[in-house]
Amino acid sequence: MIKRPCGADTLVREMPAAKVDKARPTEMLALILRACQLLSEAFREIFDESAYQRFLDRNHQESSPNAYAVFRQENEQSKSRRPKCC
């Protein structure tokens, strides 16, 4: 009895869909990476890391304890007026 590889006699192997299957992992990976990147950006925004980076860029400064102290002062003034929801 001749052993044939599974699916060797089906049309599926010859269909161009195989190409799509090859492309899909890359697309999926890109999608997952983008989702992770967005999640990371969201966290950075929620936790004020992006705001600190913008502060450094705006003032052409490097991150340092002094720069962070000035940022916190500036940030607190606007943040302390924001209500937190129930």
Partner 1 sequence: MPKVLRVLLWIAVSLLGALALATIAFHRGEQINALWLVIAAVCTYAVGYRFYSSFISAKVLVLDPLRATPAERLDNGRDFVPTNKWVVFGHHFAAIAGPGPLVGPVLAAQFGYLPGTLWIIAGAVLAGCVQDFVILLLSIRRDGKSLTEMAKSEIGRVGGVVAYLAVLSIIVILLAVTALIVVNALKSSPWGTFTIAMTMPIAVLMGVYLRRIRPGKVLETSMLGFVLVLAAIVGGQWVSQAPTWAAVFTLTAPTLAILIIVYGFAASALPVWLLLAPRDYLSTFVKLGTISLLAVGIVLLRPSLHMPPLTRFADGTGPIFAGKIFPFAFITIACGAISGFHSLISSGTTPKLIRGEKETRLVGYGGMMAESMVAVMAMIAASVLQPGVYFAINSPAGIVGQAPEAAATAISVWGFPVTAAQMATLAHAVGEQTLFNRTGGAPAFAVGMAQIFSNTLGGQAVMALWYHFAIMFEALFILTILDAGTRVGRFMLQDALGHIWKPLGRTSWYPSILLTSAIVVAAWGNFLWQGIKDPLGGINSLWPLFGICNQLLATVALCVATTIIVKMARAKVRVGRARYAFVTLIPLFWLVAVTFTASWHKILDPNPRIGFLAHASQLAASGGNPRLIFNDHLDATVTGALVVMVTMILIESTVECLRVLSGSKTAVTKETPFVMTKLALEEQA
For partner 1, the binding residues (CB under 8 A) are: 38-39, 41-49, 51-55, 57-58, 63-65, 67-69, 71-72, 74, 76, 78, 80-86
Nearest approach, Cβ of 2 to partner 1 (angstroms)? 41
Tokens of 79: 């943040």
Q: Name 69's Cβ contacts closer than 8 Å, sequence gap at least 6.
A: none
Residue number, 6 or 85, with CB nearest to partner 1: 85
Is the torsion defined by CA of 72, 73, 75, 81 positive or negative? positive
Residue number, 13 or 70, with CB nearest to partner 1: 70
- Asked if residues 71 and 52 have their Cβ atoms less than 8 Å apart, the reply is yes
Nearest approach, Cβ of 6 to partner 1 (angstroms)? 30
